[in-house]
């Protein structure tokens, strides 16, 4: 069977010289990379290209949310807490640049300059949440959640802008005091104390 594998490989190589098409949907962002260095943003419609020297990359640009895992942190005043966050975002389309703050080449930043934009969103948002919670006291966070959410949105938006991602909203979803019990190889569990301030 392996003796004829070269025939399949040869047919695939010859096929790459035949023009093919890609249907770029309106709700997606896409780019083509020709000869390894010429990058072009794709608009919606049918794109005809030669696979031998052109690669097409695309992903959804539609509004999406990500509910991030809860972290165990310590506030500025030394209170152990569990905090979670939600982020709502989209990748601006170059031809429909809404309120997205004119992120230049957002599609190229998200598809070409970032290996895994989904993972970058999670990592950067968790980093911002950690920095924010550990820099505030428990009372400061609890007294004005609207301001906390506005601050988180602004900070996460700044952190994700270099990735070509526009953050519409970031919001604290979990925030509870407790005592973390950490077992090696296990997920930390928070035990709440009703009398704990």
Residue 7 lies in a domain: yes
pLDDT of 100 reads 47
Q: Are residues 53 and 71 in the same domain?
A: no
Q: Are strands 64-67 and 71-74 parallel, antiparallel or unpaired?
A: unpaired
pLDDT of 188 reads 61
Residues belonging to the chain: 197
Q: Which segments of the chain are extended strands (E)?
A: 20-24, 28-34, 38-42, 45-49, 54-60, 64-67, 71-74, 80-90, 166-177, 179-181, 189-191
Tokens 């997205």 belong to: 100
pLDDT of 169 reads 96
Residue 167 lies in a domain: yes
Instruction: Output the domain CATH number for residue 124.
Output: 3.30.479.30
DSSP state of 69: P
Residue 136 lies in a domain: yes
pLDDT of 128 reads 97
Query: Closest by alpha carbon to 166, among 82, 74, 93, 72?
Result: 93
Q: What is the pTM of this model?
A: 0.81
Residue 197 lies in a domain: no
CA end-to-end distance (rounded Å), the chain: 71
Q: Are residues 27 and 83 in the same domain?
A: no
The mean pLDDT values, 10 residues at a time, for the chain of 197 residues are 69 76 92 92 92 92 93 92 94 70 84 94 96 94 94 97 95 86 62 56
Structural domain ending residue among the three candidates 37, 58, 79:
58
The domain of 78 spans 64-191
**How many structural domains are present in the chain?**
2
Q: Are residues 38 and 78 in the same domain?
A: no
Q: Are residues 110 and 171 in the same domain?
A: yes
Q: Are residues 92 and 180 in the same domain?
A: yes
DSSP state of 50: -
């Amino acid at each position: 069977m392996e003796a004829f594998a070269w025939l399949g490989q040869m047919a695939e190589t010859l096929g790459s010289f035949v023009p093919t098409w890609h249907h770029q949907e309106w709700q997606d962002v896409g780019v083509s990379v020709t000869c390894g260095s010429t990058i072009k943003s794709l608009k919606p419609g049918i794109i005809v290209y030669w696979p031998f020297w052109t690669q097409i990359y695309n992903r959804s640009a539609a509004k999406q949310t990500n509910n991030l895992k809860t972290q165990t942190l310590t506030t500025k005043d030394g209170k152990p807490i569990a905090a979670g966050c939600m982020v709502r975002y989209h990748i601006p389309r170059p031809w429909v640049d809404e309120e997205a703050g004119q992120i230049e080449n957002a599609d190229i930043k998200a598809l070409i300059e970032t290996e895994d934009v989904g993972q970058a969103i999670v990592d950067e948002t968790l980093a911002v949440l950690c920095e924010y919670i550990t820099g505030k006291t428990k009372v400061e966070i609890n007294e004005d959640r609207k301001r906390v959410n506005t601050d988180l949105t602004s900070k996460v938006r700044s952190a994700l802008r270099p990735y070509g991602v526009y953050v519409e909203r970031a919001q604290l979803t979990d925030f509870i005091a407790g005592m973390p019990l950490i077992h090696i190889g296990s997920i930390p569990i928070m035990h709440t104390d009703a009398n704990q301030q």
